[in-house]
Amino acid sequence: MANLDTIVALATATGSGAIAVIRLSGPQAIPIVKGVFKGKDLAKQASHTVHFGTIRNGTEILDEVLVSLFVAPHSYTREDVVEISAHNSRYIIERILELLIQRGARAARPGEFTLRAFLNGQMDLSQAEAVADLIASTSAASHLVAMQQMRGGFSTVLKQLREQLIQFASLVELELDFSEEDVEFANRSQLEALIVEINRVIHKLIGSFEQGNVLKNGVPVVIAGRPNVGKSTLLNTLLNEERAIVSDIAGTTRDTIEDEVNIHGVTFRFIDTAGIRDTRDVIEAKGVERTREKMRKARLIVYLADPQQDDLDEIKSQLAEVAQLGVPYVTVVNKVDLLTRDHVDTLNAINPLFISAKNNTGVEELKEELLRKVNLHKLDAGDVLVTNVRHVEALRRTEEALQGVLLGIKGSVTSDFLAMDIRQALHHLGEITGSVSTDDLLDNIFSKFCIGK
Ligand code: GDP
C-alpha cells in the first residue's frame, strides 16, 4: 500500500537535550532533503549511511547536521526514510520543519510513522501497539512484556493458530461445492482435536492477561487500617526511595499520576491514595462501603494495625472483616519501635510482619512479602503474555466462536454453518493482528501515539 505523500515530524521530545531528530518518510523524503542539504548528493548514497553537511534556506545556513538515509524497503516504515540530526534548538527545529514543509513534506499525524509501518507490512497491529507500550514502560517487567510483543512473540502464536484454522476452513468450504454429494474433506474428529488444542492455547493467553495487565499497569494495592495507624507514613517511606521513578512518570502518556513504587522491577500502584488517605475507620459505619469497594478492587491489601490503639482481639476482628473481602492481604503491625517484648509475643498470634514505617524498619521485608503475595511467575524472555484489553476481548470472542464450532461438530451441523463459525473465529483472531481492521480502530489506536512515532 503505497503512500504518495511524504510526512515529516520531530521524532525526539521537545525540551532540553543536545540533539533533535527530524524524521521524514515517503517517496519524496530523499529529494526533499537533498534540495536543502549541502554536502554529498543524497540521491546517490547507499542506504544506512550517515552524511555530514548543512541545511540551507537559500544561502542562509540553518544548521550543521547529520543526515541518515534508509532506503525503502529497509526502514521503519518500509518507505524511504531520512533522519536529520540537528542541534536541539527550538528555533532551528521550527525553521527546518518549515523549510521541509515548504518543499513538499506534510506534518505527520500522531503515530503516522508506525501506522505506515503497519500498513506496509513491517509489523502487525499488536506489534505496533507494543511500540507505544515500550515507550511508556517504566519498569523492567513492563519493558520485558512490551519488548516481547513488539518483537512478535504474540503475533507468531496467533499466526500459527490462524494458519491451522484457515486450512480447515478451506476444506470445510470445499465441501460446500460438493454439497449434493455429501462428502467430507475435513475430517471431523481431526477438526475437533484441532479446535480443542487451539482453544487450549487461547485459554492460556486469556489467562495470562491478569499477569500481563499487572506487569504493564502495575499491581493495584490498597493500604488500609484505622486512622493514625501510619498509612501515610508507610506510603511515604515506600515512595521516598522511589522519588526519581515517580517524577519520571509525569512526562509519560498516563492519564493519572498515581503513587507508584517499583519493587524489584515490578510496579506497585497505590490507587487513589487521596481516597485511601481520607479513609476513616474501616469498621466505622461511615465511609466503610467506599473503603471496602477500593479494597475489593485491589489486587492486594496491606492491612496496618497499631497495637497502641487496639488490642489483639480488636485487631483480630478487623482482620476477619478484611478476610471476608476475598482479596489477598498482608497483616502488618506498625510502630514496632513502641512495642515491648511481651507485646510482640502476644501479637505473634496473628503472625504479622512487624514494621516501623517511621524508622524504616521491616519495610524491606514487607516489600518482599508484597512480591511473594502477588505471586508473579518468573518471566522468561520467551513468555507470551497478553497485556492489552483489546486483545483479550478479541481472544474471548474467538473462544466463543470456537465453542460454536465444537458444538456444531458434536451436533453434526452442515458444512455451511461450520464454515461460518470458523470464519467468525478467524475474524476475531485477525482483529488482534490487524489483518481485519477498520479505519476507526486504526484511528483509535494510533491517535494515542505521540507525533513523530
Ligand atoms: P494514617 O492516619 O494511618 O495515615 O497515619 P499517619 O501516617 O498519619 O501516622 C499517624 C501518626 O503515627 C503520626 O504521628 C506518625 O508520625 C506516627 N507513626 C507512623 N508510623 C510510626 C512508627 O513506625 N513509629 C512511631 N512511633 N510512630 C509512627
Per-residue pLDDT of the chain (453 residues; tens, 9 = 90+): 456 899 999 999 888 889 999 999 999 999 999 999 999 999 999 999 999 999 999 999 999 999 999 999 999 999 999 999 999 999 999 999 999 999 999 999 999 999 999 999 999 999 999 998 998 888 888 888 899 899 988 899 999 999 989 988 888 888 877 766 667 777 888 889 999 999 999 999 999 898 888 888 889 899 888 888 988 889 888 887 544 333 333 333 333 345 888 888 888 988 654 333 344 444 445 556 777 788 888 989 999 999 999 999 999 999 998 999 999 999 999 999 999 999 999 999 999 999 999 999 999 999 999 988 887 766 666 678 898 999 999 999 999 999 999 999 888 888 888 889 999 999 999 999 998 888 888 888 888 888 888
Dihedral (Cα; 338, 340, 345, 347), 10-degree rounding = -30
In a domain, 447, yes or no: no
Q: Are residues 227 and 260 in the same domain?
A: yes
Q: The CATH number of the domain where 17 resides is what?
A: 3.30.1360.120
* Pocket lining: 116 vs ligand 1, CB cutoff 6 Å: no
pLDDT, position 32:
98
pLDDT score at 245: 38
State the distance from the centre of ligand 1 to the C-alpha of 335, rounded, in angstroms: 7
Q: What is the CATH number of the domain that holds 370?
A: 3.40.50.300
The reported pTM is 0.73
Q: Total domain count for the chain?
A: 3
Q: Is the CB of 125 under 6 A from ligand 1?
A: no
Give me the pLDDT at residue 3, please. Answer: 61
Query: Is 380 inside a domain boundary?
Result: no
Q: What is the pLDDT of residue 307?
A: 93
Q: What is the pLDDT of residue 277?
A: 39
Residue at which a domain ends, from 87, 122, 157: 122
Q: What is the pLDDT of residue 232?
A: 84
Residue 177 CB burial class (10 angstroms; 0-12, 13-18, ≥19):
exposed
Is 361 a member of any domain?
yes
pLDDT of residue 2: 56
Residue to mutate (ligand 1; options 226, 233, 338, 339; most atoms within 8 A of CB): 233
> 215 in a domain, yes or no?
no
Q: Do 160 and 95 sit in the same domain of this protein?
A: no
Question: Which residue, of 328, 345, 374, is where some domain finishes?
Answer: 374
Same domain, 299 and 344: yes
Which residue has the CA at smallest separation from atom 6 of ligand 1?
230
118 shares its domain with 141: no
Instruction: Answer yes or no: is 94 within a domain.
Output: yes
Residue 441 lies in a domain: no
Asked whether residue 370 falls in the same domain as residue 225, the answer is yes
- Ligand 1: which of 334, 344, 358, 363 to mutate, judged by most atoms within 8 Å of the beta carbon? 358
The whole-number pLDDT of residue 354 equals 97
The CB of 232 under 6 Å from ligand 1? The reply is: yes
CATH number of 202's domain: 1.20.120.430
Please give the C-alpha separations between residue 67 and each of 29, 38, 41, 101, 113, in angstroms, as whole numbers: 12, 11, 11, 17, 18
Whether 362 and 230 map to the same domain: the answer is yes
Q: Which of 96, 122, 148 is the last residue of a domain?
A: 122
One domain for residues 260 and 366: yes
The whole-number pLDDT of residue 258 equals 56
What is the pLDDT at residue 394? 95
Looking from the CA of residue 277, the nearest atom of ligand 1 is: 4
Q: Which domain holds residue 354?
A: 221-374
* Per-residue pLDDT, 251: 32
In this structure, the answer to whether residues 245 and 339 fall within a common structural domain is yes
**Domain membership flag for residue 453:** no
Angle at 207 between CA 205 and CA 209, to 5 degrees: 80
Q: Are residues 116 and 144 in the same domain?
A: no
Bond prior to 352 in cis (omega within 30° of 0): no
Note whether 108 and 28 are same-domain residues: yes
* In-domain check, residue 57: yes
Which residue's CA is minimally distant from atom 25 of ligand 1? 335
Residues 263 and 316 in one domain: yes
Q: Check whether residue 308 and residue 427 sit in a common domain.
A: no
Distance from Cα 135 to the centre of ligand 1, integer Å: 38
